[in-house]
Structure 1
C-alpha cells in the first residue's frame, strides 16, 4: 500500500462507528471508542546472515516515516507518547483502558495527533523478535491515561 492509501484507511476509520463490544480480526481490533488496524507488514526475515532483518527494519521505518510525515502535514505536529509507564502500571494491576492497554503491550511509543474530537495514532508493532514488523494506525476518542 502507498502512503496515500494508508491515509485513506485512517480517514475511513475516523468516519467509522465504534462497536459496542470488542471485535478482533487478524488485521484489526475495535471496541467501544477505538479502532486499530494493520496497514503494512514486513516479510519474514529468515536468512543466515541477518540482512533480511535489517532490510525489514529499514522497510518498515521508511513506511512509518512517510506515514507520520503525511499525517503531520494534515494534522500538525504529533506528540510522541511513551507507553512504558502504562505497561508497568498494567503489570502492577492497574486497569488501563483500551486501546491504550493493547498499545502498551505491542509498542513502546506512538505518534499521536488530535484530529477534531478523535486521537490518531501511528506506531510500529512487533510481538516477538522473530515476528514481522507491523505498521499500525488507530483512531480513538479515549484520551491517553
Structure 2
C-alpha cells in the first residue's frame, strides 16, 4: 500500500460511523467507538537470527514517522503517547479476581497496549487519530497501524 493509500484509509475511517459490535473490516478490526487499520504487515520471523527482525522494525518505524510528517501538516505535531504503563495496568486488571475493583481498559487502548509500545497521536474533529507499529509476539509480523477512535486515552 502506498502513502497515498494510507492517507486515504485514514480519511475513510475518520468519517465512517463506528460499528455496534466488535469485528473485522476491509482494513482491519473495529468495534464500538473505534476503527483500526492494518496499513502494512511484514513477513513473520520464525527462522530469523534477529538481523531481519531489526531491519524490519526500523523500516516500519520509518514508515510510521514518514506518515506522521504528512499528518502533522494537517493537524500539527503529534503527541508521543507511551503505552507501557497502560499495558501494566491492563495486565493487573486481567489478573484481578472476579469481584475485585480491577481497572477496565477501554478498547482500542487495551488491544493496542499489548503490542504497540508508543503512538503518534492527534485530536481532530472530535476523534483521536493514532499511528503505531505493532508486533504481537517476537516471531510474528510487524504491522503499521492507524487507529481512529472517539474514546479518550486512559
TM-score (norm 2): 0.85
The C-alpha deviation readout for 1:67-110, integer Å capped at 9, x for no partner, is 11111111111111111121111222210011111111111211
Conserved in 2, the CA contact under 8 Å of 1:42 and 1:59?
no
- Corresponding position: 1:135 with 2:144: yes
Equivalent position SS for 2:146: strand
Classify 1:90/1:58 alpha carbon distance in 2 versus 1 (closer, same or farther; 3 Å): closer
Gaps of 5+ in 2: 94-102
TM-score (norm 1): 0.90
**Counterpart mapping for 1:6-25 below 5 A:** 6-24=6-24
What is aligned with 1:59?
59
Equivalent residue pairs, number: 145
Gaps of 5+ in 1: none
What is aligned with 1:97?
106
Q: Alpha-carbon deviation of 1:43?
A: 2.5
Conserved in 2, the CA contact under 8 Å of 1:3 and 1:70?
no
Q: Alpha-carbon deviation of 1:47?
A: 6.0
Classify 1:27/1:15 alpha carbon distance in 2 versus 1 (closer, same or farther; 3 Å): closer
Classify 1:51/1:39 alpha carbon distance in 2 versus 1 (closer, same or farther; 3 Å): same
